[in-house]
Amino acid sequence: MTSLNETPRGMRVAIAFLGRRNAGKSSVLNALVGYDLAIVSDVPGTTTDPVSKNVEISPLGPCMVIDTAGIDDEGELGEKRRGKTREVLKDADVGLIIVGDGRWTSFEEEILAGLQAKSRPVIVVVNKIDKCSGKEVIKAVRERGLDYAAVSAVTGEGIAALKENIRGLKNITGLESPSLLAGLIGAGDLVLLVTPIDAGAPKGRLILPQVQTIRDILDNQALALVVKGTELKGALSKLTEPPALVIADSQIVQEAAATVPESIPLTTFSTVFSRFKGDLTQLVTGVKTIDVLEEGDKVLIAEACTHHA
């Protein structure tokens, strides 16, 4: 079961393990996470479909690792598996091209071209250096100006350096988790959070979006004040300065709007996360279409919500 406090996908770095069959993709994955997460076998084609797992990798933090089938898989079924592997490229934040026999082939070129076409950072992992030097592939990688790490998934040699390479890419490409409230608050600002505590609220804790918002406020060196809807008016009256922002639960936003002065920005947790994870500008553009609706037009109202699943 997924933890209620688990880091969401949008705040994880997705690392795809790509390469030919028996290059050691699953073995490198296991060495990177520090335990046997993926099935390892000498039989070519053990991994048949992309497998994604949420993990914590020190010192990288929350990640999603994606193990893939060999890009050189054969036959009609193999072509379907290769298609699945290619689809992974659009979901990956970082692509690791695993080479296990010291050779740089057209298959590695295909993976590289796919990652570069989507502007994904690439690290070539020269695996099995306990068995071969990998000089040929290292030469090819250097000629292409790519980052690489020489490792042995069996002995663990080079794995720490690989982690540092990934962390360096993460910093360079801005893959670190962006701020929920970027551009809305600054250091020292006070943010007032309004949450309903009723029969429908979980016992003994706040829901995840509220927890994430509080953490983001603290990460921005700002101040968070959390109150129930019934205490909002009293809280505002006790403040010597107005808050920089008020964030209310959607259930009580109308009540909050009636209480919060118009001079104070007011939004909802849902809107904050729509801005963070979705295309809020496009959604607002869609709302404006309401003004030009004509009689007989059809409007789709859909909600993706676990409460109504």
Return the pLDDT at 33.
87
Return the pLDDT at 237.
96
Please report whether residue 298 resides in a domain. Answer: no
Provide the H-helix boundaries in the chain: 25-33, 75-88, 106-117, 135-143, 159-172, 208-219, 232-238, 253-259, 269-277, 280-288
Same domain, 166 and 272: no
Same domain, 195 and 164: no
pLDDT tens digits along 152-196: 999 999 999 999 988 887 544 445 557 889 889 999 999 999 998
| Pairwise CA distance, residues 120 & 219, whole Å | 27
Question: Which residue, 114, 116, 117, 134, is CA-closest to 125?
Answer: 134
Q: Tell me the residue range of the domain where 287 lies.
A: 190-292
Question: Which residue, 255, 246, 251, is CA-closest to 213?
Answer: 246
pLDDT tens digits along 18-39: 999 989 999 999 998 887 877 6
- Is pLDDT of 89 > 80? yes
Please report whether residue 41 resides in a domain. Answer: yes
Same domain, 81 and 204: no
Return the pLDDT at 281.
73
Please report whether residue 307 resides in a domain. Answer: no
Structure tokens at 164: 């540092």
- Is pLDDT of 225 > 90? yes
Same domain, 13 and 159: yes
Stronger pLDDT, 56 or 142, i.e. the higher one: 142
Same domain, 199 and 267: yes
Same domain, 163 and 68: yes
The distance in angstroms from the start CA to the end CA of the chain is 17
pLDDT tens digits along 244-298: 999 999 999 999 999 999 999 999 999 998 888 766 777 788 888 889 999 999 9
Please report whether residue 177 resides in a domain. Answer: no
Same domain, 227 and 82: no
Please report whether residue 243 resides in a domain. Answer: yes
Same domain, 152 and 202: no
Structure tokens at 159: 């794995």
Please report whether residue 2 resides in a domain. Answer: no
56-84: average pLDDT? 83
Same domain, 102 and 240: no
Read off the CATH number of the domain in which 72 is found: 3.40.50.300
Please report whether residue 136 resides in a domain. Answer: yes
Please report whether residue 309 resides in a domain. Answer: no
Same domain, 227 and 100: no
Q: Report percent pLDDT > 70 for the chain.
A: 87
Domain count, the chain: 2
User: What is this structure's pTM?
Assistant: 0.61
Same domain, 215 and 253: yes
